[in-house]
Structure 1
Amino acid sequence: MNLRALVSVTGKPGLFKLVGQNKGGFILETLDSAKIKSVVSLSSTKMATLEDITIYGEDEEIRLLNVFETIKEKGLTVDPKADGETLRNTFREIAPGHDESRVYSSDIKKIFTWYNIIKDLPLFEEEAPAPLV
């Protein structure tokens, strides 16, 4: 799974592909069919790549990519609009050991929404490039 160029932007719904950088900030493109490009300021916006996002665990943090891999391996179809208890039960199955007191239903809903956005992208099937040493 090669999701290196995909980012979440605080305060903006959905996911974005990082397509470049200029003096004013990062150039992002929406992942929907509209492919709208926008510039996000470096100083006023927080961004996180999907590769860097982790989920609170009871013993250790769980990488978001590992959660996505588990959903993919189990062939689960997840409806992010399901009720909170259904989402939590499904999340217990794919991310055992997550800290239930710090991972909220809204977080789980966002993770499932993101998965549904990226599952059909070509990047989802690509191997991640080797880390730079």
Structure 2
Amino acid sequence: MNVEKILAISGKPGLFELKIQTRSGFLAESLLDGKKITVGLRSNVSLLSEISMYTYSAEKPLVEILRAIAIKENEGPTPVTGKDDNAKLVAYFKEILPDYDEDRVYASDIKKLLNWYNILQAKGMVSKEEPKVENAEEVKEQVVEEVKAKKETKAKAEPKTKK
């Protein structure tokens, strides 16, 4: 499962694939409808490879949870969607991750996770294979460095005002 360049953008529904860097941020393509959007440097963006969920023992990376769903569903869509009631969502999620922290993982988090899984599954991006973690770190470092470079370039390019 290769989710190193898959993004969740706060305030935007669905998931996005990181395409290229632009002068003011980067270009991302929606996995839902294929529309491309420009995302500014001030937007709250998360790489799926960096998200994890709380369990009673430790935080579990989202990639491992998505893989567990893929194994359970034989890489098919989930029978439970975000439109089902909360009790059904929680019961299904307990089958996937039995020791999740019920006080810190809300039904809305489970809905979002299942919707994300179904988006990725529809695009053929889910797999039972072990996740490749080393590449995720490289992509994260690259994105962070690009954002820092853009901020520095922007700060240098701004005209200085006279007092």
- TM-score by length of structure 2 reads 0.74
Distance of 1:130 and 1:113 partners within structure 2: 23
Post-superposition CA distance 1:89-128 (Å, at most 9, x none)? 1111101211100100000000000011001324334875
Query: Aligned-pair RMSD on alpha carbons?
Result: 1.9
Give the alignment of 1:9-48 within 5 angstroms: 9-32=9-32, 34-42=33-41, 44-48=42-46
Q: How many residues align?
A: 131
Aligned to 2:157: none
Write out the 4+ residue segments of structure 1 that deviate beyond 6 Å after TM superposition: none
Question: Where do 5+ consecutive residues of structure 1 fail to align?
Answer: none
The structure with the largest alpha-carbon Rg is 2
Post-superposition CA distance 1:24-57 (Å, at most 9, x none)? 001111112x311111111x21111111110011
Q: Is the 8 A contact 1:2 1:127 kept in 2?
A: no
Aligned to 2:69: 71
Aligned to 2:134: 131
Question: Where do 5+ consecutive residues of structure 2 fail to align?
Answer: 139-163
Q: Please state which structure has a larger fraction of its residues in helix.
A: 2
Distance of 2:59 and 2:132 partners within structure 1: 22
Distance of 1:99 and 1:84 partners within structure 2: 16
Q: Is the 8 A contact 1:28 1:37 kept in 2?
A: yes
- TM-score by length of structure 1 reads 0.89
Q: Which amino acid aligns with 1:22?
A: T
- Give me the identity figure in percent: 37
